[in-house]
Amino acid sequence: MKGDYKMDVYSFCELCTDGGALIAVYDLTTEEEVFCGTMDDARWEDFSECDVLSFDICPPDGRGVTLILNIETEEGDEEW
């Protein structure tokens, strides 16, 4: 396969059938969690145009999160 295939947070969340599922978004640039909430809400956050670099499926934590999307933002870029 040729080409560079990427998917942003918005598109990733659109693919999921349960928009109410709780997820977290982790910024690999700042090494901080930048979001915890539903898939539907994540689509409208400032980082929604950032590419999903990887994801982690984990046992539910105390908040009910089972999926973590890993993104990278550029420090100092207010629009991400």
Query: What is the amino acid identity at position 11?
Result: S
Judge whether 4 lies within some domain: no
> How many domains, in total, are found in the chain?
1
Judge whether 53 lies within some domain: yes
78 vs 17: which has the higher pLDDT: 17
pLDDT given for residue 3 in this prediction: 65
Judge whether 40 lies within some domain: yes
58 vs 80: which has the higher pLDDT: 58
| CA–CA separation, 17 and 8 (whole Å) | 17
Give the CA count within 13 Å in the CB-facing half-sphere of 58: 14
pLDDT given for residue 60 in this prediction: 85
Measure the CA angle with vertex 17, ends 14 and 18; round to 5°: 100
DSSP character string of 26-53: EETTTTEEEEEEEHHHHTTSGGGGSB--
- Please give the mean pLDDT across all residues of the chain: 89
Judge whether 60 lies within some domain: yes
Which SS3 state, helix, strand or coil, does residue 54 take? strand
- Residue 16's domain spans which residues? 9-71
What pTM did the predictor assign? 0.85
Judge whether 30 lies within some domain: yes
Instruction: Name the helix (H) or strand (E) containing 74.
Output: none
